[in-house]
């Protein structure tokens, strides 16, 4: 079920802000600080069906800090997938969609380069080996 309404505080939900070096740094729960370049973000958001990603940039930070599930990529040994379920997405500036039973944001990270590879929404996390943080 999808319910449409105005986003609350939509003026306070800008696209990701990048530094003078063209990068944004995101802390994570398990993999330290990761970077996302403006060039990579523009590529990710370039397809018309992904235009709404720009209005949900804060979900990247939330997913990386407070994930519901973290898994290893099935075939790329250096990639880790962080998943977080959200009940609302902004589809455009000022338009909010309530998504029942929710939608997961997947943030794919490269653990060797400390970079964000891509971001995408999914109905369910992909199967794969659960990430278990090393014991301290």
pLDDT mean across residues, the chain: 87
pLDDT score at 101: 86
Q: What is the DSSP letter of 54?
A: G
Contact 96, 111 (CB under 8 A): no
Instruction: Over range 19-39, report the average pLDDT.
Output: 96
pLDDT at 97: 78
CA distance 84 to 58: 12
In angstroms, rounded to a whole number, what is the distance separating the alpha carbons of residues 126 and 123? 9
**What pLDDT sits at residue 14?**
53
φ, ψ of residue 27 to 5 degrees: the values are -75, 155
Q: Give the pLDDT band of residue 12 (cuts 50, 70, 90).
A: very low
pTM given for the model:
0.86
Give the per-residue pLDDT at 5. 43
H or E element that contains 126:
none
What is the pLDDT averaged over residues 25-38? 97
pLDDT digits (tens, 9 = 90+) for 75-123: 999 999 999 999 988 887 677 777 778 899 999 999 999 999 999 999 9
Task: Round to whole Å and give the CA distance between 35 and 111.
Answer: 11
Backbone φ and ψ of 16, nearest 5°: -60, 140
């Amino acid at each position: 079920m999808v319910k449409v309404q105005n986003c609350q505080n939509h003026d306070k939900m800008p696209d990701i802000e990048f530094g003078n070096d063209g990068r944004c740094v995101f802390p994570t729960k398990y993999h330290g600080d990761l970077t996302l370049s403006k060039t990579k973000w523009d590529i990710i958001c370039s397809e018309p069906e992904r235009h709404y990603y720009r209005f949900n940039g804060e979900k990247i930070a939330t997913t990386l800090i407070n994930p519901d599930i973290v898994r290893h990529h099935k075939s790329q040994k250096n990639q880790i997938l962080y998943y977080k379920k959200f009940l609302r997405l902004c589809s455009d500036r000022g338009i909010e969609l309530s998504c029942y039973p929710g939608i997961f944001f997947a943030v794919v990270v490269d653990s060797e380069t400390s970079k964000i590879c891509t971001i995408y929404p999914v109905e369910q996390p992909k199967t794969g080996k659960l990430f278990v943080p090393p014991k301290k």
